Amino acid sequence: MSILNYLIRRIGLALLVILGVMIITFFVSRVLPADPVRLFVGVRASEETVEAKRAEFGLDQPVPVQFLNYAGGILQGDFGISFRTKRPIVDDLKIFVPATLELVILSMVLAIVIGIPVGVIAAANRGGWIDQISRIVTIAGVSIPSFWLALLLQLLFFSTLDWLPLGGRLSREFIISNPIETVTGFYVIDGLVTGNFEAWRNALWHLVLPTFVLATYPISLTARMTRSSMLEVMSETYISAAQAAGLSRREILFKLALKNAIVPTLTVLGLVFAFSITGAILVEIVFSWPGLGTYVTESILSADFPVVMAVTLIVTVIYVAINLFIDILQATLDPRVRLGSQ
Amino acid sequence: MSFLKVEGLHISFNTPHGVAEALRGVEFSVHEGAIFGVVGESGSGKSLTGKAILDLVPYPGRITSGRIFFENEDLRQKSERERRAMRGNQIGMIFQDPSAALNPVFTIEQQMMGIMKRHRAEAKKEMRAKALGLIHDVGLPDPERVMKSYPHELSGGMQQRVMIAMSLLLDAKLLIADEPTTALDVTIQAQILDLLKKLRDEKGLTIMLITHDMGVVAETCDEVAVFYAGEVVERGNAQEVLSNPQHDYTRALLAALPDGSRWDEAGEDSTRPLIEIQNLTQEYVSKSGLFGRTQTAVRILDQFNLTIYEGETLGVVGESGCGKSTLANTLMRLIPATAGEIRYDGSDILTLDGPALRQLRQHFQMVFQNPFTSLNPRMRVFDIVAEPLRTHRQLGSADLKVQVDRLIVECGLTADYADRYPHELSGGQAQRVAVARALALNPRFLILDEPTSALDVSVQDRIIKLLVDLQKKHQLTYLFISHDLGVVQQISDRIAVMFAGEIVELGTSEAVFTAPQHEYTQKLLAATPSLIRMKRDNSL
Amino acid sequence: MKPATIFNRWLGFAFTRPEPGSANWYFRRDKLAVVCLFAILFMIFVALAAPILTPYPEQGLGDPNLGEKFLPPSVAHPFGTDDLGRDVLARVMFGARSSLIASFAIVSVAMVFGSVLGAIAGYFGGWIDELIMRITDIFLAFPPLLLAITIATVLEPSLRNSILAVAVTWWPWYTRIVRAQAVTIRERNYVKAARSIGVNDATIIRRHILPNVLGPVLVQATLDLGSALLTIAGLSFLGLGIQPPTADWGVMVSDGREYVQSGRWWIGLFPGLAIFITTLSFNLLGDGVQTATDPRIRSV
């Protein structure tokens, strides 16, 4: 199969998956709850108000029509109205998505920059002390609850040592007197672009703990997966053949085996995103980070289903897009992926 | 002075059961320019010896003692750096399965240039020219295209040629070829062996050819060492060892080889057809292009006709992809046919279903190539043999036990094997269990799909003997499928030679073997390394 | 097989000398994994015997004791007391119940459901395979915790519903593993032999496919216990799991968050430590089992 055919097929599948995801979120938000309208207007509202609102939201129509309205709205960027804030959800998302992505992207970068080399080195020293230590540390890394780690670090670096801020994206004095102007929504970029270096430094300072906590799981996971795919590759005959041809261990490890092992390891990056974004939900609460996680948790507490569904949907679409990108990357790296794509 | 000399080589493996000696004082020497055969069964230590020369003994094994001299230098005294410089430059190696030995994510060019860059400081252009030349030398057409290919885009034979070219990139003087043709078809095997001989003659290459096949040794080697349980039990000039073996094990190996004689005298010619295959066509539709819109039909069997007579053994010979397995699967109703009929007992079995199909399943049974993949590793021998009885007969547990025990004993095992799991059996024992399962329902027709090719030579003839005895006792009809003319000839009354989905030659075993008519049969016969031919050639 | 036979086998597995070279033999050489196995058994014991082990069983079950609020760790209260004056150690012991039940329940439900679907998809192939795997793809398209949060949000918060919410997001992983295995096993000759004998499809799946995928599936299940515990703790932390006054580790860490600024560290520290140690034990155990059963990665 040519790469173009592979691409088209893969994109088609991704669209199918997004359709399925929309069906599920629709089902969960409109069909599972007993009466979403009652939730919106409150318990004390009269029957007439309920029916009026039901008609306004189109919830009195047959379920398939409701779904078409829902899907049509989403395609136009309309995620509905929040029960809690009564604002269009899409306006809230514009504020919260960049805040969360700032954390998630940093955590993914750390996972790649630290996780992959650690995995390769552990595999190269299989059974040695570096391998043993990295095994324990990385397993601990995937075992520690992020919200608890966040709590511990707050206790240490804020309560005890007072080195780092407790939470938030920016200290209060900056928010009041010298806020970072929004250009992209990413403070790390906006602070530099607008030349507001003091606030920028303050923003970086606030990023340290949340990023570290969020990156713990992804780094450990990447290191473990890299190690095991490296070991698998190292047991292949073509590695023996390369040795027989006189290639050195370093060349085999870093030039040959890494390219073979990177293909399965890339799959991990999709997972790393998934774990970062869901980890962010928990971590943001602890650090009062004004992102999707805080937004969604507040919505959960007030049973604000449309918001929860909208966030689920948007995060999932990003996830599907990332996986699509990874698959295409794998297909360009490994000619066999294109062939055995079914 | 010898070119390569191995003295007292010991290799041990750490195993859960303690230290196991895999090589126990191996000794041999190889002359420059010779093709040196290393022959033995699986686990005899022959591959390990090859790897030890390159210092590539796999984990958790290690060389405990011994010396390896290459051009009078002790390799084990050299530093890791010096040894690495020898690999490829002095000694090259090729492996059994070329598709596994080539790195799937690099093109041939990338792999070849990677090897040369390591050792040579030549200009890129010169290196490339050399690679192209070698690809041409190993007999591959269109070297430019081969260079740009990924390994999976080449056939098995082409991959092995590429491996050979790669191992010669740095002008190695010694080539260690570890079962280089085992994964290939016989005609391809013959071509690769010819190529090795040609390289020896033209480039003065010394070759250490590791194989389990005495036929290959007879065909190719000047000198030979016979390995058994980690030791060299016999070595010397290949002709002498083969014609006048000294050691019992060598004699047993040679005796087990097909030598043109038959196991059983031909039965009287049966004339009652049991199965008639008429115009059987099997198409495989390969979908390609966007959403599989481009469909190409590949005909695996094309208007295939064959009559199988009651009580006979019909041998079917052909190389991989000739359609012989498809034929077996269609007869067993494991896959549907595209068109045609298979008549048995007056009805077309391809249209049977329900109770009639269940009835047919009792009459047709099959024995597969590798007994370890045909026995469920999670079931005891008893349950394996009982499965057909449980499916078709309502027996009480006592009756069932009697039946199963009888079958196991009939196939040459004792009743206490019933409690074992497949991994507790040897290859030969496992194949006996598979035969017992096939006999459980008193079938009339058995398909034997390469029933001996996964077994060591010394076990093969015992399984053949069992099959011959059972055939007499139960008046069975056999369809014996194999890629090896020699084996088929031992047991068959008639032989059908298949090529590209058609029968190109059909005749009595004697006729096909001694006076092949079709060009392909002649080619196949010529490519089959065998002692018969060696003996015949010698006597002429 | 009778339950008694299975029990005897397990006893035999645990107490006889393993045959050298068996997975059991390799496993026992991994001392860390064996220690973790005992740690988990200890946790199970604590969860079961909590009412006997603690002097404050009523507090463990949720009764407030307002006279002893916010006491730091001491001999009487090794883990201190919480905002309602309850003994944190007793709460941690009782909290082990929901965490352990949840992780085993999630993995079992997901494993059984996912494996059966995977075996069906892999064995039959064709449109059945296509259908099952596309549904699986859709479920896998959600980041794991997110869908669980979504489902748990609309359901009444309770232990059962949070288990359900996580299991719904978990089964596709098993479907994938089992399908991949089943596709290769379907081509094995013993399946062909069974088909040529005339054994029906359901029996082939039950007798030939499922027993042969059991190994990798159980290894995966052991590896998953830790993640399941973390996920369920995360849901509880968000208030989507078991509800107060029943003790739960995730809820307790969430409570402890409020007291970081006032320096009452013990309220959140100990329940979180319990989550960490239990998850770590599950993960090290899983890693040990995986290594012991995979010839490619274990060392002699």
Residues B253-262 pLDDT 10s: 777 666 656 6
The whole-angstrom separation of Cα B427 and Cα B534 is 29
Q: How far is CA A138 from CA A262, A264, A266, B57, B389, in A?
A: 19, 19, 18, 31, 53
Q: Span A296-313, mean pLDDT?
A: 83
Per-chain mean pLDDT for chain B: 86
Chain A contacts of C260, Cβ < 8 Å?
Answer: 151, 154-155, 158-159, 166
Helix (H) or strand (E) segment spanning residue A274: helix A258-286
Residues with Cβ < 8 Å from A21, sequence gap 6 or more?
A: A313, A316, A317, A320, C138, C141, C142
The whole-angstrom separation of Cα B530 and Cα B526 is 9
Phi, psi of B368 (to 5 degrees): -100, 170
**pLDDT reading at A245 higher than 80:** yes
Whether residue A143 lies within 8 A of chain B, CB to CB, comes out as no
Looking at the DSSP assignment, which residues form a beta bridge with residue B10? B24, B65
The whole-angstrom separation of Cα A85 and Cα A295 is 11
Label residue B270 by pLDDT band (50, 70, 90): low
The whole-angstrom separation of Cα B367 and Cα B369 is 7
Per-domain residue ranges of chain B: 1-90+174-255, 98-171, 278-361+444-505, 370-442
The whole-angstrom separation of Cα B457 and Cα B408 is 23
Sort strands B494-499 and B477-482 into parallel, antiparallel or unpaired: unpaired
**pLDDT reading at B531 higher than 70:** no
The whole-angstrom separation of Cα A262 and Cα A269 is 11
Which pLDDT belongs to residue B540?
A: 37
Token duo for residue A32: 């599972």
**pLDDT reading at C300 higher than 70:** no
- Beta carbons of C199 and B387 less than 8 Å apart: yes
Which pLDDT belongs to residue B88?
A: 80
**pLDDT reading at B431 higher than 90:** yes
Which pLDDT belongs to residue B177?
A: 93
Percent of chain A exceeding pLDDT 70 equals 94
Token duo for residue C184: 């290769």
B1-90+174-255 and B278-361+444-505 have identical folds: yes
- Beta carbons of B290 and A5 less than 8 Å apart: yes
Residue numbers of A between 82 and 121 with CB closer than 8 Å to C: none
Whether residue B92 lies within 8 A of chain A, CB to CB, comes out as yes
pTM of the predicted protein model:
0.83
**pLDDT reading at B464 higher than 60:** yes
Burial grade of C38 (CB within 10 A; 0-12, 13-18, 19 or more): exposed
Label residue A341 by pLDDT band (50, 70, 90): very low
Most confident of B87-96, B452-461, C92-101: C92-101
Per-chain mean pLDDT for chain A: 84
Place of tokens 């870093």: A254
Q: Span C162-188, mean pLDDT?
A: 91
Q: Span A318-336, mean pLDDT?
A: 85
**pLDDT reading at B510 higher than 50:** yes
Place of tokens 């395609």: A75
Class of domain B1-90+174-255: alpha beta
Q: Span B460-475, mean pLDDT?
A: 89
The whole-angstrom separation of Cα B515 and Cα A256 is 52
For A71-117, what is each residue's pLDDT tens digit?
A: 888 888 888 888 788 888 888 888 899 999 999 999 999 999 999 99
**pLDDT reading at B472 higher than 60:** yes
- Beta carbons of B334 and C195 less than 8 Å apart: yes
Map out the domains of chain C with their CATH numbers: 21-56+78-299 (1.10.3720.10)
- Beta carbons of C238 and A309 less than 8 Å apart: no
Which pLDDT belongs to residue B104?
A: 87
For B322-379, what is each residue's pLDDT tens digit?
A: 888 889 999 999 988 889 999 998 789 898 888 888 888 999 999 988 888 899 988 9
Q: Span B450-454, mean pLDDT?
A: 84
Which pLDDT belongs to residue B222?
A: 92
Domain with residues B278-361+444-505, CATH architecture: 3-Layer(aba) Sandwich (3.40)
The whole-angstrom separation of Cα A204 and Cα A198 is 10
Q: What are the strands, taking DSSP E only, across B168-272?
A: 174-178, 206-211, 223-228, 231-237
Q: How close, in Å, is residue C4 to chain A by CA atoms?
A: 35
Of B56, B150, B290, nearest to A240 by CB-CB distance is: B56
Which pLDDT belongs to residue B45?
A: 87
The whole-angstrom separation of Cα C81 and Cα C270 is 11
Residues with Cβ < 8 Å from B262, sequence gap 6 or more?
A: B489, B490, B491, B509
Of B18, B333, B374, nearest to C189 by CB-CB distance is: B374
The whole-angstrom separation of Cα B538 and Cα A175 is 100
**pLDDT reading at C6 higher than 70:** no
Of A241, A246, A259, nearest to B95 by CB-CB distance is: A241
Which pLDDT belongs to residue A31?
A: 65
For B3-12, what is each residue's pLDDT tens digit?
A: 899 999 999 9
Burial grade of A155 (CB within 10 A; 0-12, 13-18, 19 or more): buried
For B170-225, what is each residue's pLDDT tens digit?
A: 888 999 999 888 877 888 888 889 999 999 998 889 999 999 888 888 888 999 99
Which pLDDT belongs to residue A342?
A: 35
Omega before B60 cis (within 30°)? yes
**pLDDT reading at C2 higher than 60:** no
- Beta carbons of A335 and B105 less than 8 Å apart: yes
The residue in chain C having the minimum alpha-carbon distance to the alpha carbon of residue A292 is: C146
Other residues' Cβ atoms within 10 Å of the Cβ of residue B470: 19
User: Quick check: helix, strand or coil at residue A171?
Assistant: coil
Give chain C's contact residues with B (Cβ, < 8 Å): 20-22, 25-26, 188-190, 192-199, 203, 207-208, 211-212, 214, 299-300
Question: Are B445 and B365 in contact, with CB atoms under 8 Å apart?
Answer: yes
Q: Span A120-125, mean pLDDT?
A: 89
User: Quick check: helix, strand or coil at residue C217?
Assistant: helix
Which pLDDT belongs to residue B316?
A: 93
User: Quick check: helix, strand or coil at residue C218?
Assistant: helix
Chain A contacts of B89, Cβ < 8 Å?
Answer: 246
Q: How close, in Å, is residue C27 to chain B by CA atoms?
A: 12
Label residue B539 by pLDDT band (50, 70, 90): very low
Q: How far is CA C35 from CA B150, C12, C15, C18, C280, in A?
A: 48, 19, 16, 17, 11
Question: Are C114 and C174 in contact, with CB atoms under 8 Å apart?
Answer: yes
The whole-angstrom separation of Cα B437 and Cα B431 is 10
User: Quick check: helix, strand or coil at residue B219?
Assistant: helix
For B378-398, what is each residue's pLDDT tens digit?
A: 899 999 999 999 999 888 889
Whether residue B103 lies within 8 A of chain A, CB to CB, comes out as yes
Q: Which chains touch A (3 or more CB pairs under 8 A)?
A: B, C
The interface pTM score, or ipTM, of the predicted complex is 0.87
Q: What is the residue-wise DSSP string for B458-495? A: HHHHHHHHHHHHHHHHHT-EEEEEES-HHHHHHH-SEE
- Beta carbons of A143 and C147 less than 8 Å apart: no
What sign results for the dihedral spanned by CA atoms C91, C96, C101, C107?
positive
Which pLDDT belongs to residue C9?
A: 64
Q: Span B295-316, mean pLDDT?
A: 87
